[in-house]
Chains A and B, each alone.
Chain A
C-alpha cells in the first residue's frame, strides 16, 4: 500500500514537474523536446520519438531522443510515410475525438520498419482538428531484456499506463495551447500584414480616386465640350471652344490648336494663354504641321489619324510655338487637312501622365469628328445653297418656259387665225364675193361723198329745184295763146344739143350752165313784164325749173313753166323746128 502510494506520489510529482516544464513553453518543438526529456525518465524508456504532424498536408516535425543522429535523420525523412501509416483514421473515422488517445500495439502496425526497433509503446493522439501526434517510447528499462516475449501487456504497467496517458494529455494540452498561441500569433502577423496591405490599398485607392476625380473632371469637361461643339457650325469656333475646354480639363495654362488646309491654303488657329507668333500664316503653319508629322512617327497620313508626339518640347522646338510645349498631338482629317494640338505646362508644373496624353488623344479624335462634321456641314451648306440657287434658276426658267409656252400657244392661236384668215382671203381672192362688192361700193360712196364735202366745186346731193317752190305752170294751149297774144317768149332750157335737135319755133336756148352769158346777150333788153314760157325737163333734170328760178331772180314778172314740156307742145301740133 505504501509502495502504491509512493508510486502515485511519484506519478503525480512527475505530472506536476512535466506540467511545470511545459507550462511556459509556446513552441511545439520545444514542448515535444521537453516532453520527451521529462517523460522518458519516469517511464524508464531509453528512446523516444515524438511526431507532430498535419496529416492533411503530410507535414510536421519529428523529434527523437536516444537515437543515433543518422537514424534520427532517416526518421525525419520518413515523415510522409509515417503520416500515411499512423494517421489514416482522420480520413476514415469521423467520430475520432480530438482528445482520444489510441494505443497501438506493435503487432498492429504493418510498418514496423518506419520506426526504430524497440519502440514498444506507440500512442497516437489528436491535438486539434488539424494536428495529430505520435509518441513512441522504448525499450523500457524495467523490462526484462532476457525474456522479451514474456508479455507485452506487462510492458507497461497500469500505473505507468495511466501516467503515460496523463502525460500525453498534458502534452496534448501544451501542444494545443502552443498551437493556439502560434495560431493567434500567426493570425496577428497576418492581420498586421493585411493591415499593411490595406494601408497600401488605401493609399493606392486614394491615388486612384484622385486619378478618377481627374478623369471625371476631364470627362465632365469633355461632356460639356461635346454639348458645346454640337451647337457649333464653324471650324474656328469649334477650335476655340475645344482649346478652352482642353486647358480647363487638363489644368494647362496655355495651348494652341491649328488646322491647316493645304488644298485651300487656309489656316484655322486658336491660341490661348500665349501670343500669336505668326502661325496663322500658311507658311509657318505648314512648317509646324510638317514638323509635327515627322515627329509623330506616322508613316502615312490616313484619314482621322491622331498621334501624340514624343518629347514635344524638343520635337517642335523652333517651329514658332509661343510656349514650352508639354504635350502635343498631330492629327489629320485627310491628306490635305492636318493639324497640331500643343499644350503648355500644367498649372501644377507636373507633366501630363500617359493616361492624360491618351485622354488628350481621345479628345482630339472627338475634335476631328466635329471638325469633319463642320466641314461636311459647310460643304453641304454650300451645295445646298448652290442647289437652292439652281432651284430658283430652274423655277425661273420653268416660269419663263411656261410664259413662253403660253406666249407660243397664243402666237400659235394667232398664227392659226392669221393662217385661216389668209386662207379665207386667198379663197376669197379667187372667187366672186358679194361682201367684197358691198365693201367696194360702200368705200366708193363714202369716198365720193367725203371728197364732195371737201371739194370747193361740190354738187348738192338733192337737186335744187326740189328745195324751191315750183314755178307757175302753163299748159301748152295757154302757152300758145300767150305766145300769140302777148308775145310771150319761149325759152328752151335744155342743153344745146337737144335744142338743136328740136325746139319750139322761135324759142331761145337758155341753159342753166350758160344762163348769165346768154341772158345778157339775148334777154337783157326783154321787158320784165313779157311772159317767159320755159320748157325742158326729163326724168333726171328740171332745167326749166332752174332757169325759171334764175329768171325770177332777174325780176321777170311772168315766168311760166310749160306743163309736160316739149312733148306736150308737139302733141298739140304746135310748130317746132327744125
Chain B
C-alpha cells in the first residue's frame, strides 16, 4: 500500500510538480525573449552555433515555442508531446552550453535576461536537471490535466 503511495507520489504527483515548474519556467523565460527579440538574437549569436541566416528567425520562433509548450504543459494538454519538445530543447540548450563552456566563451546564459549571470557549469547542471524533469514528465502520467476533462466527458457520452 505504502509502496503504491510512494509510486504515486514519485510518479504522478512529482510529474505534476515538474509540469507546473517547467511550464512556469518556460513561460517566464519566453516573456522577455518575445519582448526583446533583437537582444535575444544577439544572445543566440553569442553562442556561435546557429548560422547567421537562422539567428533572427530562431530568435523570433524560439520564445513562442517556449511559451506555447510551457502553457500547454501547465494546462496539461498534449503533455507527452510537449514534454518531448521541451526535453529536446533542453538537450540542445545543454549541448550549446557545454560546447561554449568547453570553448570558454565569455557569455551569459541568456536564458531569462540579456544581462544574465555568466554561464557556468552550474548552468549546464541546471539545464540537465530541467531535462531530467522533462523526461520524467514524459514517462509519468500526471493528474490535473485539461485533456482528462475531455476523456471523462467522452466516458459520460458513451455511458
Residues of A at under 8 Å CB distance from B?
415, 419, 422-423, 425-426, 428-433, 436-437, 440-441, 443-445, 447-449, 451-452, 455, 457-463, 466, 495, 497-498, 500-501, 513, 538-542
| B65: A residues at CB distance < 8 A | 440-441, 444, 448
Q: Does B117 contact A (CB under 8 A)?
A: no
Contact between chains at B106 and A501 (CB < 8 Å): yes
Contact between chains at B48 and A539 (CB < 8 Å): yes
Which residue in A448, A458, A542 is a CB contact (below 8 Å) of B61? A448
Looking at the assembled complex, report how far the CB atom of B48 sits from the nearest CB atom of chain A, in whole angstroms: 4
Contacts A432-B80, A462-B53: A437 and B85 contacting too (C-beta < 8 A)? yes
Taken together as a complex, chains A and B put the C-alpha atoms of A440 and B50 apart, in Å, by: 21
Looking at the assembled complex, report how far the CB atom of A577 sits from the nearest CB atom of chain B, in whole angstroms: 15
Contacts A432-B80, A459-B41, A541-B52: A419 and B68 contacting too (C-beta < 8 A)? no
Contacts A425-B150, A430-B141, A538-B48: A447 and B80 contacting too (C-beta < 8 A)? no
Taken together as a complex, chains A and B put the C-alpha atoms of A460 and B45 apart, in Å, by: 14
Contact between chains at B59 and A459 (CB < 8 Å): yes
What are the nearest 8 A-B pairs in CB distance?
A: A444-B65, A540-B45, A448-B60, A497-B106, A444-B64, A541-B45, A436-B81, A429-B147
Which residue in A431, A445, A463, A539 is a CB contact (below 8 Å) of B56? A463
Which residue in A448, A457, A500 is a CB contact (below 8 Å) of B106? A500
**Dominant secondary structure at the B interface:** helix
| A447: B residues at CB distance < 8 A | 64, 68
Q: What residue of chain A has the Cβ atom nearest to residue B106's Cβ?
A: A497
Bin chain B's interface residue count.
Answer: 35 or more
| A426: B residues at CB distance < 8 A | 147, 150-151, 154
Q: Does B125 contact A (CB under 8 A)?
A: no
| B53: A residues at CB distance < 8 A | 462-463, 466
B49-87 vs A: 1/0 string, CB under 8 Å? Answer: 111110111011111110111001000011111101100
Contact between chains at B52 and A444 (CB < 8 Å): no
Contact between chains at B42 and A513 (CB < 8 Å): yes
**Seed contacts A431-B80, A445-B64; 12 additional CB < 8 Å A-B pairs:** A422-B151, A422-B157, A429-B78, A440-B68, A440-B72, A441-B61, A448-B34, A460-B56, A462-B56, A466-B52, A498-B105, A541-B42
Q: Does B132 contact A (CB under 8 A)?
A: no
Contacts A430-B80, A542-B52: A452 and B37 contacting too (C-beta < 8 A)? yes
Residues of B at under 8 Å CB distance from A?
34, 36-38, 41-42, 44-53, 55-57, 59-65, 67-69, 72, 77-82, 84-85, 104-108, 138, 141, 145, 147, 150-151, 153-154, 157-158
Taken together as a complex, chains A and B put the C-alpha atoms of A291 and B51 apart, in Å, by: 124
Looking at the assembled complex, report how far the CB atom of A544 sits from the nearest CB atom of chain B, in whole angstroms: 12
Q: What residue of chain B has the Cβ atom nearest to residue A538's Cβ?
A: B48
Contact between chains at B154 and A423 (CB < 8 Å): yes
Taken together as a complex, chains A and B put the C-alpha atoms of A495 and B114 apart, in Å, by: 12
Contact between chains at B52 and A539 (CB < 8 Å): yes
| A415: B residues at CB distance < 8 A | 157
Contacts A432-B84, A500-B106, A540-B51: A444 and B61 contacting too (C-beta < 8 A)? yes
Contact between chains at A449 and B150 (CB < 8 Å): no
| A452: B residues at CB distance < 8 A | 37, 60
Contact between chains at A440 and B81 (CB < 8 Å): yes
| B150: A residues at CB distance < 8 A | 422, 425-426, 429
Contact between chains at B55 and A433 (CB < 8 Å): no
| B69: A residues at CB distance < 8 A | 440
Which residue in B37, B59, B107, B154 is a CB contact (below 8 Å) of A455? B37
Q: What residue of chain A has the Cβ atom nearest to residue B51's Cβ?
A: A539
